[in-house]
Amino acid sequence: MAQKILVISGDGIGPEIMAEAMKVLDVLQRDGLTLERGEALLGGCAVDATGEPYPEATKKKALAADAVLLGAVGGPKWDVLPREQRPEKGLLGIRKSLGLFANLRPAVVYPQLAEASTLKPEIVAGLDILIVRELTGDIYFGEPRGIETRDIDGTTQRVGVNTMIYSESEIRRIAKVAFEAAQRRSQRVCSVDKMNVLETTQLWRDVFTEEAQHYPNVQLSHMLVDNAAMQLVRNPKQFDVLATGNIFGDILSDEASMLTGSIGMLPSASLDENGKGLYEPCHGSAPDIAGQNIANPLAMILSTAMLLRYSLKNEAAARRVETAVMEVLDRGLRTPDIWKEGMQKVSTKEMGDAVVQALARQA
């Protein structure tokens, strides 16, 4: 039976970059990939059409699909709406309804783009790490929470309260995702915690250590989060898979993405317990350049490669797409965001066409 994907272009540059990802899927389908593609609205365009950022029809299709490919949502036009109708609400809604708990963000520095990083090229050239972040637990969601009034040393004061909490099962399921991802890569997981101070993360470390028994070919190491933040800028190439909880992952994944220096190159995946996922570029809808045919479509195309790898379990097709992207970079083609002197400046469409040609040459 053909696998079903739901395509959501969204707002701003979303439709432009998605059109290029669709050309890539066209080639793969011509070469034998069987796939059913549906379409749906999310974000600002959904508000315009239906009054809702995450319409019921989109939810139905998303739940029925094997994977969802998303461009980007949002823009100034909708920022004035009540919070419930904002495009971002649609994004949170779809993530929640699909039960996505694992966020995978690769930070890859293509040797051709090493100079775009703010770090020295020799520190980042060839970098290829994967941050696996837990998305649904931790201090972001723990109860009790809030700002309350307490009597402290005889004075009444406001007190801010948040609760860091992880259950064993929540840790175990994210550990599995990290170990399985490492099996497809260099077989190394570094689990990041703060076990010297926080009991929650002592449990995190214990459960990762237990779960590692089931993956004898994967080497597990542990690192405290403050050291991990430092090591990411000192010697990032020491890492393969870096696994961590929600709050530490929030910070470390942004730090890691900046090592690459080019937001238009960064894909991401968010997965549920069964490998179903939502795949999207790390960047937003870039309203400042929308409609100009200058957005970089490579993060979108690389998100499509992640969809092929993690939800459709088609490693060969994923590699084909990634190799084609490498080839166009080798040829010196650059959209304006990654362009430098001596390179050939191309539009969104020309970049997509070049990836398609590179794919066709592989067949």
Catalytic (active-site) positions: 140, 194, 226, 250, 254
Asked if 99 interacts with ligand NAD (CB under 6 A), we say no
How long is the chain? 363
> Tokens 């088609």 belong to which residue?
314
Could you tell me the smallest distance in angstroms from the CB atom of residue 42 to ligand NAD?
Answer: 9
Size of the site for ligand NAD (CB under 6 A): 21
Alpha-carbon dihedral of residues 92, 287, 250, 209, nearest 10 degrees? 80
Binds ligand NAD (CB under 6 A): choice among 3, 26, 35, 88: 88
Q: Which stretch binds ligand NAD (CB under 6 A): 49-57, 116-124, 139-147, 280-288?
A: 280-288
The binding track of 201-240 with respect to ligand NAD, each residue x by CB under 6 A or -, is ----------------------------------------
Looking at residues 298 to 317 of the shown chain, list those that interact with ligand NAD (rule: CB under 6 A). 299
283 counts as binding ligand NAD under rule CB under 6 A: yes
Does 289 contact ligand NAD by CB under 6 A? Answer: yes
Instruction: Write the Ramachandran bin of 70: left for phi over 0, alpha for psi from -120 to 50, otherwise beta.
Output: beta
> Does 73 engage in binding with ligand NAD (CB under 6 A)?
yes
280 binds ligand NAD (CB under 6 A): yes
Residue whose token pair is 């090592």 = 259
Question: Among 132, 286, 302, 359, which residue interacts with ligand NAD (rule: CB under 6 A)?
Answer: 286
CB closer to ligand NAD, 66 vs 280: 280
- Given 103, 246, 296, 304, the residue binding ligand NAD (CB under 6 A): 296
Which member of 40, 62, 91, 119 binds ligand NAD (CB under 6 A)? 91
Task: Identify the CA nearest to 352 among candidates 4, 10, 15, 11.
Answer: 15
Q: Work out how close the CB of 40 gets to ligand NAD at its nearest, in angstroms, rounded to a whole number.
A: 15
Nearer to ligand NAD, 116 or 181 (CB): 116
Whose Cβ is closer to ligand NAD: residue 74's or residue 352's? 74
In the complex with ligand NAD, the residue whose CB is nearer, 175 or 294, is: 294
Q: How far is the CB of 296 from ligand NAD (least distance, A)?
A: 4
Establish if 53 lies at the interface with ligand NAD (CB under 6 A): no
Give the whole-angstrom CA distance, residue 22 versus residue 294: 17
Q: In what order do the strands lie in the sheet containing 102-108?
A: 35-39, 3-10, 67-72, 277-281, 267-271, 102-108, 128-134, 241-244, 188-193, 219-224
Q: Which is nearer to ligand NAD, 194 or 283 (CB)?
A: 283
**Which x/- pattern, by CB under 6 A, does the window 336-355 give for ligand NAD?**
-x------------------
Give yes or no for a cis peptide into 144 (omega within 30° of 0).
yes
Shortest reach from residue 170's CB to ligand NAD, in Å: 24
Toward ligand NAD, which CB reaches closer, 94 or 225?
A: 94
Which range, of 25-33, 68-76, 143-151, 187-195, touches ligand NAD by CB under 6 A? 68-76
| Residue number, 202 or 293, with CB nearest to ligand NAD | 293
By CB under 6 A, residue 15 contacts ligand NAD: no
CA 146 vs. chain centroid, Å, equals 29
What residues line the site for ligand NAD (CB under 6 A)?
Answer: 13, 72-75, 88, 91, 263-264, 280, 283-289, 295-296, 299, 337
